């Protein structure tokens, strides 16, 4: 027994296929009596419109795509991506869209893959993540006519596409203030080497807060740059502790975990360790490390809305919409150190 179609339903009911279609897409056009009869038949038969036919006819696939980056050191870490992805799917669904996952070997390849999908009508638009300085993906995709929305601002470029980003500096700023208010004075910062935009951004918040409290002169001495590993964090923290630093804001949870270990070994007062990480990873939660949480849920939602608006604009040919550029703020999650990791007594 084949699946019912508009035509088969219409035939059975003795009406035209158009009437059935109207019952679904423009019920107000159909006489109540007919409508109810048709609706009953639709439900009884379990009829569902075929998406391929709709896509062909409407020229929209109601599908978005996003590249699944291989887990990289410097990209969004696994846990965050997992959360982001989940919310993205939910947000897309809420707008009637599906999310398709893709892979690519490189950023260049990503542009090709996404463009191809768009040309073939597989997707209506795409989400970009892991933006970086000099990232040419957005402009190239836009040039190819592919609607784009990015998670991450276009560092240094003034791109013509909507994006959402999290203002890391506001997070580290809040974290620094929190430590200062808790009575600590010499707050250090452990960040990444090089001038990655995210890295500079996160350090800036600390610098600013310190300057605001009259420690501007010390920000040169009280900071360290290490690659993103626990051990590196610990080593850096020990060096800074020797210089008199007593609390730490870190660019990542990995570095923070290292700093935490260093701090534990020297002991500290109270239940809350004077160390704050970034990204609020599961480990941080498990150990009781305070951390900055990125509002990925909200980011996913905004991103989706932007993208859908962009798609609508690109199809209505009503011209361009105002590109939204949204900045969100991380939330400081304060925790007490898990008992088992309480500082080692001297």
What does the binding site for its own copies look like in residue numbers (CB under 8 A)?
A: 3, 46, 48-53, 55-56, 61, 63, 68, 70-71, 77-79, 81-83, 85-86, 89-90, 93, 98-103, 116, 119-122, 229-231, 234-235, 254, 257-258, 261, 282-283, 286-287, 338-341, 344
Kindly state whether residue 145 participates in binding DNA, applying the rule CB under 7 A: no
7 near DNA (CB under 7 A): yes
Q: Which residues contact 97 (CB under 8 A, 6 or more apart)?
A: 62, 63, 64, 124, 304, 308
Q: Nearer Cβ to its own copies, position 210 or 262?
A: 262
Distance of alpha carbon 85 from the chain centroid? 8
Interface residue with DNA, options 43, 46, 57, 319 (CB under 7 A): 57
Q: From the CB of 107, what's the least distance to its own copies, in Å?
A: 17
Nearer to its own copies, 30 or 99 (CB): 99
Q: How far is CA 237 from CA 21, 188, 229, 230, in A?
A: 68, 8, 12, 11
- Residue closer to DNA, measured from CB, 54 or 71: 54
Q: Return the SS3 of 244.
A: coil
Q: Which of 35, 157, 264, 265 binds DNA (CB under 7 A)?
A: 35
Contact partner, 6, from DNA, its own copies, none, Cβ < 5-8 Å per class = DNA
Q: Report, in Å, the least distance between residue 49 CB and DNA.
A: 4
Closest approach, Cβ 219 to DNA, in A, equals 59
Residue in 104, 99, 102, 70 with CA at minimum distance from that of residue 85: 99
- Look up residue 256 and give its two tokens: 């923070």
Nearer to its own copies, 13 or 289 (CB): 289
Residues 58-97 touching DNA, rule: CB under 7 A, are: 58-59
Give Cα 116 to chain centroid, integer Å. Answer: 24
Distance CA 231, CA 242 (A): 17
CB nearer to DNA: pick between 9 and 292: 9
Distance CA 128, CA 109 (A): 13
Q: 79: which 2 tokens?
A: 């846990």
3-state secondary structure of 264: helix
Smallest gap from Cβ 17 to DNA, in A, equals: 5
Q: What is the Cα Rg of the chain in Å?
A: 26
User: Of DNA, its own copies, none, which one does residue 273 interact with (CB within 5 to 8 Å by kind)?
Assistant: none
Nearer to its own copies, 23 or 300 (CB): 300
Per the document, the length of the chain is 346
34 touches which of DNA, its own copies, none (CB within 5 to 8 A by kind)?
DNA
Q: In this complex, which beta carbon is closest to its own copies, that of residue 22 or of residue 61?
A: 61
Tokens representing 340 are: 């088992």
Task: Determine, following the binding rule CB under 7 A, whether residue 315 of this chain makes contact with DNA.
Answer: no
The Cα 19–Cα 31 span in angstroms is 10
CA 23/CA 29 separation, integer angstroms = 8
β-bridge partners, 118: none
Residue 33 binds to DNA (criterion: CB under 7 A): yes
From DNA, its own copies, none, interface partner of 282 (C-beta below 5 to 8 A by class) = its own copies
Q: Are 338 and 284 within 8 A, CB to CB?
A: no
Count of C-beta atoms within a 10 Å radius of residue 210? 25
Provide the minimum distance between the beta carbon of 58 and DNA in the complex, in angstroms, as a whole number: 6
34 binds DNA (CB under 7 A): yes
Helix axes 253-266, 230-242, angle to 10 degrees: 50
Query: Does residue 66 contact residue 102 with C-beta atoms inside 8 Å?
Result: yes
Site string for DNA, 8-27 (x = CB under 7 A): ------xxxxxx-xx-xx--
Which residues lie near DNA (CB under 7 A)? 2-3, 5-7, 14-19, 21-22, 24-25, 29-35, 47-50, 53-54, 56-59
């Amino acid at each position: 027994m084949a699946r019912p179609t508009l035509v088969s339903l219409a035939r059975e009911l003795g009406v035209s296929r158009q009437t059935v279609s109207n019952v679904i897409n423009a019920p107000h056009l159909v006489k109540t009596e007919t409508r109810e009869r048709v609706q009953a038949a639709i439900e009884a038969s379990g009829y569902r419109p075929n998406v391929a036919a709709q896509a062909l006819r409407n020229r929209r696939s109601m599908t978005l795509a996003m590249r699944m980056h291989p887990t990289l050191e410097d990209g969004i870490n696994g846990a965050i991506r997992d959360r982001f992805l989940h919310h993205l799917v939910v947000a897309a669904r809420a707008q009637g869209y599906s999310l398709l996952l893709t892979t690519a070997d490189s950023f260049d390849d990503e542009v090709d893959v996404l463009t191809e999908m768009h040309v073939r009508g597989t997707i209506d638009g795409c989400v970009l993540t892991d933006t970086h300085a000099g990232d040419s993906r957005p402009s190239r995709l836009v040039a190819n006519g592919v609607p784009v929305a990015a998670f991450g601002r276009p560092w240094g470029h003034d791109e013509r596409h909507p994006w959402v980003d999290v203002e890391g500096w506001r997070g580290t700023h809040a974290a620094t203030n929190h430590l200062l208010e808790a009575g600590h004075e010499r707050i250090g910062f452990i960040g990444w080497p090089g001038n990655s935009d995210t890295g500079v951004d996160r350090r800036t918040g600390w610098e600013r807060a310190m300057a605001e409290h009259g420690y501007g002169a010390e920000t040169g001495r009280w900071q360290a740059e290490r690659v993103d590993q626990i051990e590196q964090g610990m080593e850096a923290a020990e060096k800074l502790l020797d210089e008199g630093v007593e609390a730490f804001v870190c660019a990542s949870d990995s570095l923070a975990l290292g700093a935490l270990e260093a701090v534990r070994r020297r002991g500290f007062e109270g239940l809350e360790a004077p160390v704050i990480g970034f990204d609020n990873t599961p480990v941080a939660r498990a150990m009781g490390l305070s951390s900055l949480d990125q509002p990925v849920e909200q980011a996913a939602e905004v991103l989706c809305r932007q993208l859908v608006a962009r798609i609508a604009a690109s199809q209505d040919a009503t011209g361009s919409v105002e590109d939204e550029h949204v900045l969100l703020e991380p939330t400081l999650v304060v925790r007490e150190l898990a008992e088992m990791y309480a500082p080692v007594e001297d």
